[in-house]
Structure 1
Amino acid sequence: MLSFEEKIAVIEEFEELEKKNVSLGRVNFHFEESLYDKKNVVYHLHPNGNGFVYAGEMEGYPVDDRGMVNIRDFDAKELHAIVREAIDSLASTPAEKDPVLEEWMNDYDQLLILMREEDGYNVYAGENLEGTFNSYEEAADFLEQEGFKQD
């Protein structure tokens, strides 16, 4: 297990993070450029080595109900990787994390394009917007009801 000082040294390698001292000797590291309400990347790093990294916008980590991963037993390489991923996840829109660009065709060879943009899904006929949807399922359902199939 890395010491408190060693964890601080790894985290301070990320110039985009701002160190904030909190109660009981704990430290938070904020990412002010976050595209989300969440700005804490490292939360309550304690002198005993315990602490958390926000992974709520990431996949592949066991998170608690706040989206946090306990980093107590992380080595330097693991800590560096999760902090980098956390920053990147807070700096990317959902469309950048999981892009969608699909062509849908009907029996009359008409083409519609389904794209994920920002936090929704848009359907285009050429440059014209045909519809905006909250989920992929809603957009696909619309296209299927209109007689389109994914190409």
Structure 2
Amino acid sequence: MIGILIPVPLTFFYIHFGRRLGLALLALIFVVLFSLMGPREAVLFFTEYAVLVGVMSETIRLRFSFDRCILFSTSVSAVLSIVFLLIVFTDRDLSLLEFFQKQINGHFTQSIESLKAIGGKSEEIKALQGFADEASGLFAQAYPAFIAFGAFITALVNYY
């Protein structure tokens, strides 16, 4: 829930005190995150939240309609987030899809182990294993949609 509400004060300051202060505040937060957490987290903040704040604030300032504000904010934030993930994973042994599939398989494996620990039936365990093998690839392929939907929800909540 906190991740969804992070842009609220930034958008407020950007709209009420002007573009110059808004951009200075976004730059200050970027520098603080860069120094405390490193470049990857700072760029991730920038692509997910700072861009959303900037685009949303500018579209509100230009008096765009509600749907255009949400559309532009969501589109720019989601596209930059996906591009950032692609850039981060270009130098790794695993592709982005393989990385997500591995992460999802790990979560399914934990669920299967928990089911075994509580004494689950062998048919249930086999069914869950079959579902996990099939679903992990589908979830990994759908990850860009999750990013876009998350950006949409964040923009929608922060508009109000």
Structure number with larger C-alpha Rg = 1
| TM-score bin, normalised by smaller chain | under 0.3
TM-score by length of 1: 0.26
Which of the pair is proportionally richer in helix? 2
